[in-house]
Structures are given as C-alpha cells and as structure tokens.
C-alpha cells in the first residue's frame, strides 16, 4: 500500500477525507499501487473504495488509471460505474486540506475532523502529532515543519539526537488547550540512554523537558503537551552509561555501588539490559571498578536485584536516579533471607513476600522480591491514586453504564445494573472495602478520562513512584498483565496509605451503599475478614487483597508497631484466603520482633 500521510484517529481516509463510493456485489476491484505491488482482488460489497488513500481531486485523476475494475456481467455497467466514481470525486472532496513538501505539512481541520480526532504525519515520517477527539473546540490550521539547525542554546549534559521540528496549531483565538495533544519524534541514536522530547522556551531562552515515553526498539519518543506552538527535539542524557557490572560485599551499605564517573553519594538507577524489568537504585560509596569493560560494581544485595550472584557479571544501563523521588523510594532488593540476624525466618507458603521500613529505606524481610507477578486487585490502590489526583467530587452521582460491567462479570461486584444511579463516595468505598470490579470501572469513568487515558496515567504514576517493574493494563486487576513486585507494591502502599479515607475504606469490615434510583441499600464485605478472622486483632493501618487464578491470593498491608512507626508488608501468590492471612500474620509477627 502507498504511504498514508495522515491517519485519522477513528475511521476515514487521510486527514479525515471520506471518498465514499458504494460498490455492489457483482464487482471485483483490483488496485495496483504506484509502489509496483501486485494487484490483489478486492471484493467490495457496499464498502468504502480507498482510491490509494489519496484525498484530492488531482490524486483521484492520477490514480484512476491504476484501478482496474473487472466486470462479472457486462462492460456497459463498468463504464457507468467509472463515470459515477469520477463525478462523485467532484462533489465529495474532504473538508480538510493539506499542502505537502519535503520539510513541512499543513492541514485545516474542520468540525468533522475535530469530532473524530486526527494523527498528522510529517511526510518523511519523522514526526507525528495526534489530536484526540474534541481537544479542539473550533476549526484549526495545523502546520508541522522540520527546521534547519538554528542558533539555539545547547542544554548542559544533553545531546540532541533528532532534527528540530516546529508545530503550530492556529485557532481563533489562540489558546492553551485544556486537554493534551501528543507529539512523536523519531531519533537517530542506537543506545539506551535516557531520552526525552524537549521544547524550546523562548521566554527563558532554554530547552525544557516534556513528560516523555521512549520506545528504544523502534527509536521514537512520545510526549504530551498543552501548548499550541513549540519547537521540539529529542535529547539524550550524556550522563547515562552502558557496560558490565560485577558485585562486592558491603556489610555497611547493602545498596551501594562503586563508580569512577559519578559523585560520591550520588543515587544511580541501574537497569539490567538482559532483563529490563529488573532495576535497582544504589548510592555511590566508593571508587572503582578498575577493570576494562566494567562501568560499575554493585554491592551484593544490589547485584542480586538484577542477576543471581553466581553469574558474576550483568550488562547494565546506568543513569542518575530521579532527584524528585523521595528517599523512601530508593531501594530494590533481591535476597531470599531475613535482613535481621538472630531471628528465625518465617515459614511462608507464599512464593513472594516482603516487610519494608519505608521511613528508613530498610528491608526487614524479603522472599523473591524481584519476581514480577500478576497483582490482581492490589491494582485498585493505583486506581485510587489516579482517581484522587483528579480532585473528585465525592457527592457526584454516577449513572451506571454497560461499559462499567466487566464482560463476562468475574469476581466481586456491587449489585447494580445499567441505568442505576450511585454516588462517587459509594463507588470509592465499594471498590476499596469490597474490591468491587464494576465500582472500579465506574469510578475511573467518573473522572472524565477515557479508560485508555486513565490506564496511561496509572503507568505514568508508577514510574514517578519509582515502581520500575510495574505495569497496568486495566483499573480492576482482572487483567493478567497487571504485574508488579513486592518491592514496588511496598512503595505504593507507603504512598497511598497517607490518605485517611483510604485507610478507613480498606480496613472496615463492610460497607453499605445506596442505589439511589431504587432507594435500595446493599452491603459489601471486606475479603480480609470474610473468610478468616486471623488478622482481626492485628494492627492494620491499611490493607488491600487481590485474587485471580494467575496471581493467587495476594495481600498488601501497612501495619503499626507499638513505637508508633508504620511498616509495609506484602504477600503474593498464596494458595488460599486462609494461607494468605496466615502468611501475613507471620510476617507482621516477624516484623514486630525485628523492629524490637
């Protein structure tokens, strides 16, 4: 197929053009592309004829000679049909228009394109700009242009690895958008150094970063912006490195490293290039290594987060840790032993477990904390984080839609049907107390975000919390692809349990919600106490259960010691609700002794 220069977000032809030519079942159409690809039979029955996806009368005329229509009945019908196509092209030209040359493209978006949304592709494919449906509220002229190198300042410790591009979204009046547009730039670098899209701030005469996501496999970076105009480019950090890491014993600093290239006490994020799901944060405590091809040496605990100690070497990517992260987010571990000597290791059935002292960035116990597993409904803690960051109105009333009901409907749910009305407060408590899946979906929808946008924010927030081994595919936890480690989940618990509303909702034994249109009151129970009372007397500050077949029985809690300090504990993959509670009780008991 010929390259498409503009791909609508939802349906239609390039830049929204829709040359609609109904075809009937007695025709078989063949399209021979300019690229020389063999013509292939196309049985069109009332579908849209793409005409090589071109969107101007000039292109229609150029390509008409390339379309061969094979008639199954007689030639007269074919002649009539071709005439209709040409005449239709005269009257059905698109409302949007484009001008293309080597280095720039311009397009006008009318109301039809604004309603549908557009992805505009630079002709050479090095830049794309996506405008989601209804981001604009009036017609707009959009220009994308590749600029020649300009006399702009070079950011310190950054290297530009793409051309400089300019986009301009002109509306009347010009304004900053309430919703974000997406820009995507290709780059020309083959390493895994940290890359972001930066925009040039003319007022401050400097480049400033946009929130970015990098696809290292296909060499492009995506970013979000509210700005209608910018000069943008991809820059990579010169401070990041790649090479081999080994290990050494460091009894005084369990998560230390030796480096000749970073300042003493600098915090570094070290990611395995053999398994990019594994990463660790370490602090430079000594100099070294002094061996060719080795760029860093890690303390034994830090190395085990990336590879087993017997392996000796692991290929890694190194970059400065995000200084914005709080100190309690700076640890990843992978030992299988208690961190406190002299205590008997708890006997657990769960394959993964951890006790974490967030206030002191200290692991009190861990078992396979590096293993990435499905986390089931523990997911709902991150759903809560994103929901609360939208500053919700808890008194708002939501009408249940069919999209709020998982199909089929597995797991826990509140007793509502499509059309029922329920408050945001009740949805919030039903999700956290009873782990209701339909409540989670309705709560996410209540934010005004699409489910895709909501999930994207969940993944962005995970990275901001340094949950480097965590990924979300849905807000409920029913998706097997919602995966994390006990280390990452400990960071999430510590972050979200500062909210009194979350503490109360996750530890109350049940909650009664009101279906407003039916004036019915129903009660949903907390799974922690539903199957066993093992944990009823434990000092739980906050807790969240989870279960799907692929994840097993999971539980994440924050508990309080009699010294007033709070600690995080995680169990993943227990075989039953009973063993999950029993494992957690053993963990809490061990943690209390370790703290003492």
Q: What is the pLDDT of residues 27-47, one digit of tens each?
A: 333 333 333 333 333 332 223
pLDDT of residue 314: 92
CA distance 458 to 443: 14
pLDDT of residue 191: 66
What residues form DSSP beta bridges with 243? 316
- From 205, 237, 269, the end of a domain falls on 237
Label each residue of 45-109 as H, E or C.
Answer: CCCCCCHHHCCCHHHHHHHHCCEEEEECCCHHHHHHHHHHHHHHHHHCCCCCCEEECCCEEEEEE
Q: What is the pLDDT of residues 220-231, one digit of tens each?
A: 899 888 888 889
The reply to whether 503 and 561 lie within a common domain is: yes
Do residues 186 and 127 lie in contact, with contact meaning Cβ atoms separated by under 8 Å?
A: yes
pLDDT of residue 193: 66
Instruction: Judge whether 83 lies within some domain.
Output: yes
pLDDT of residue 341: 53
Backbone φ and ψ for 551, nearest 5 degrees, come out as -95, -25
Task: State how far Cα 241 lies from the chain centre.
Answer: 25
Burial of 3 (0-12, 13-18, 19+ CB in 10 A): exposed
Residue 550 CB neighbour total at 10 angstroms:
14
Instruction: Judge whether 506 lies within some domain.
Output: yes
Percent of the chain with pLDDT over 90: 35
Q: What is the pLDDT of residues 116-169, one digit of tens each?
A: 777 887 757 788 888 888 778 888 888 888 887 667 888 877 889 999 999 998
Instruction: Judge whether 346 lies within some domain.
Output: no
Q: What is the pLDDT of residues 585-594, one digit of tens each?
A: 999 988 888 8
Look up the CATH number of the domain holding residue 484.
3.40.710.10
pLDDT of residue 43: 31
Range in 55-59, 239-243, 385-389, 431-435 with the lowest mean pLDDT: 55-59
327 compared with 374, residue with greater pLDDT: 374
Domain count along the chain? 4
The reply to whether 478 and 449 lie within a common domain is: yes
353 compared with 240, residue with greater pLDDT: 353
CA distance 10 to 339: 54
Do residues 259 and 269 lie in contact, with contact meaning Cβ atoms separated by under 8 Å?
A: no
The reply to whether 220 and 309 lie within a common domain is: no
pLDDT of residue 39: 34
pLDDT of residue 410: 65
pLDDT of residue 11: 30
76: confidence class by pLDDT, cuts 50, 70, 90: low
Beta-carbon contacts of 173 under 8 Å, excluding residues fewer than 6 positions away, are none
Range in 4-13, 137-146, 380-389, 411-420 with the lowest mean pLDDT: 4-13
What 3-state class would DSSP assign to 300?
A: helix
pLDDT of residue 382: 97
Range in 111-115, 340-344, 405-409, 527-531 with the lowest mean pLDDT: 340-344
Look up the CATH number of the domain holding residue 314.
2.40.40.10
Instruction: Looking at mean pLDDT, say which of 233-247, 375-389, 576-590 comes out highest.
Output: 375-389
179 compared with 367, residue with greater pLDDT: 367
72 compared with 348, residue with greater pLDDT: 348
Does the pLDDT at position 515 exceed 50? yes
68: confidence class by pLDDT, cuts 50, 70, 90: very low
311 compared with 32, residue with greater pLDDT: 311
Range in 65-69, 192-196, 208-212, 230-234 with the lowest mean pLDDT: 65-69
pLDDT of residue 101: 64
56: confidence class by pLDDT, cuts 50, 70, 90: very low
Do residues 193 and 234 lie in contact, with contact meaning Cβ atoms separated by under 8 Å?
A: no
Instruction: Judge whether 31 lies within some domain.
Output: yes
pLDDT of residue 217: 72
Range in 66-80, 421-435, 523-537, 545-559 with the lowest mean pLDDT: 66-80
Burial of 561 (0-12, 13-18, 19+ CB in 10 A): middle
- From 91, 123, 146, the end of a domain falls on 91
Range of the domain at 537: 373-595
The reply to whether 121 and 72 lie within a common domain is: no
Q: What mean pLDDT comes out for the span 179-194?
A: 81
257 compared with 261, residue with greater pLDDT: 257
Percent of the chain with pLDDT over 70: 76
500: confidence class by pLDDT, cuts 50, 70, 90: very high
Q: Are strands 256-258 and 279-286 parallel, antiparallel or unpaired?
A: parallel
The reply to whether 53 and 149 lie within a common domain is: no
Q: Measure the CA angle with vertex 131, ends 130 and 132; round to 5°.
A: 110
pLDDT of residue 129: 87
pLDDT of residue 387: 97
Burial of 347 (0-12, 13-18, 19+ CB in 10 A): exposed
Report the chain's mean pLDDT, rounded to a whole number.
77
Instruction: Judge whether 330 lies within some domain.
Output: no
Instruction: Judge whether 10 lies within some domain.
Output: no
Instruction: Judge whether 107 lies within some domain.
Output: yes
The reply to whether 141 and 203 lie within a common domain is: yes
- CB burial readout 99-128, b (16+ within 10 A) else e: eeeeebbbbbbeeebbebbbbbbbbeebbb
- From 219, 237, 255, the end of a domain falls on 237
The reply to whether 70 and 129 lie within a common domain is: no
Tell which residue, 44, 28, 168, 181, has the closest CA to residue 114.
181
pLDDT of residue 345: 80
Instruction: Judge whether 345 lies within some domain.
Output: no
The reply to whether 382 and 483 lie within a common domain is: yes
Does the pLDDT at position 200 exceed 60? yes
253: confidence class by pLDDT, cuts 50, 70, 90: confident
Range in 87-91, 388-392, 465-469 with the lowest mean pLDDT: 87-91
The reply to whether 76 and 180 lie within a common domain is: no
The reply to whether 563 and 583 lie within a common domain is: yes
The reply to whether 456 and 487 lie within a common domain is: yes
Do residues 39 and 81 lie in contact, with contact meaning Cβ atoms separated by under 8 Å?
A: no
Does the pLDDT at position 480 exceed 70? yes
The reply to whether 225 and 265 lie within a common domain is: no
Look up the CATH number of the domain holding residue 110.
2.60.220.30
532 compared with 226, residue with greater pLDDT: 226
pLDDT of residue 123: 58
Q: What is the pLDDT of residues 553-582, one digit of tens each?
A: 999 999 988 788 899 999 999 999 899 999
């Amino acid at each position: 197929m010929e390259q498409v220069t503009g791909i609508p977000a939802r349906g239609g032809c390039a830049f929204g053009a829709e040359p609609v030519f109904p075809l009937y079942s007695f025709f078989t159409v063949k399209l021979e592309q300019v690229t020389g690809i063999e013509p292939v039979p196309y049985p069109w029955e009332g579908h849209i004829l793409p005409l090589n996806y071109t969107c101007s009368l000039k292109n229609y005329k150029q390509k008409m000679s390339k379309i061969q229509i094979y008639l199954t009945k007689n030639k007269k019908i074919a002649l009539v049909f071709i005439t209709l196509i040409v005449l239709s092209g005269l009257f059905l030209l698109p409302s949007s228009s484009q001008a293309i040359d080597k280095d720039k493209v311009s397009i006008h978006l009318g109301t039809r394109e604004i309603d549908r949304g557009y992805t505009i592709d630079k002709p050479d494919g090095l830049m794309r700009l996506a405008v989601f449906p209804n981001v604009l509220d009036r017609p707009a002229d959009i220009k994308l242009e590749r600029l020649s190198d300009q006399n702009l300042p070079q950011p310190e410790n950054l290297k530009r690895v793409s051309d400089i591009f300019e986009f301009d979204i002109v509306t009347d009046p010009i304004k900053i958008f309430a919703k974000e547009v997406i820009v995507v730039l290709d780059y020309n670098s083959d390493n895994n150094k940290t890359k972001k899209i930066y925009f040039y701030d003319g007022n401050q005469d400097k480049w400033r970063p946009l929130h970015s996501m990098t696809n290292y496999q296909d060499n492009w970076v995506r970013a979000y912006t509210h700005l209608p105009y910018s000069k943008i480019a991809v820059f990579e950090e010169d401070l990041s490195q790649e090479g081999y890491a080994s290990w050494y014993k460091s009894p005084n600093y369990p998560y230390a490293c030796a480096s000749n290239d970073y300042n003493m006490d600098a915090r570094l994020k070290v990611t395995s290039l053999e398994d990019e799901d594994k990463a660790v944060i370490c602090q430079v405590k000594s100099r070294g290594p002094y061996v060719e091809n080795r760029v860093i040496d890690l303390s034994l605990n830090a190395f085990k987060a990336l590879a087993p100690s017997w392996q000796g070497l692991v290929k890694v990517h190194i970059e400065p840790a995000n200084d914005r992260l709080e100190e309690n987010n700076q640890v990843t571990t992978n030992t299988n032993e208690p961190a406190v000597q002299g205590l008997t290791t708890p006997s657990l059935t769960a394959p993964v477990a951890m006790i974490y002292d967030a206030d002191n960035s200290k692991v009190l116990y861990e078992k396979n904390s590096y293993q990435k597993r499905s986390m089931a409904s523990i997911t709902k803690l991150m759903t809560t984080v994103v929901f609360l960051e939208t500053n919700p109105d808890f008194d708002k009333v939501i009408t249940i839609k069919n999209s709020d009901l998982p199909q089929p409907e597995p797991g826990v749910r509140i007793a509502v049907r499509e059309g029922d009305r329920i408050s945001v407060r009740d949805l919030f408590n039903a999700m956290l107390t009873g782990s209701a899946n339909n409540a989670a979906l309705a709560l996410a929808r209540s934010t005004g975000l699409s489910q895709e946008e909501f999930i994207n924010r969940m993944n962005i927030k995970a990275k901001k919390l340094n949950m480097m081994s965590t990924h979300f595919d849905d807000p409920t936890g029913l998706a097997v692809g919602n995966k994390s480690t006990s280390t990452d989940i400990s960071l999430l618990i510590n972050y979200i349990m500062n909210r009194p509303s979350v503490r109360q909702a996750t530890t109350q034994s049940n909650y009664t919600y009101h279906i407003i249109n039916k004036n019915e009151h129903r009660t949903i129970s907390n799974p922690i106490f539903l199957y066993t009372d093992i944990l009823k007397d434990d000092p739980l500050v906050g807790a969240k259960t989870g279960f799907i077949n692929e994840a097993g029985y999971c539980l994440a809690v924050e508990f309080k010691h009699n010294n007033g300090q709070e600690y995080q504990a995680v169990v993943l993959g227990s075989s039953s609700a009973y063993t999950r509670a029993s494992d957690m009780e053993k963990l809490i008991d061990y943690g209390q002794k370790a703290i003492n």
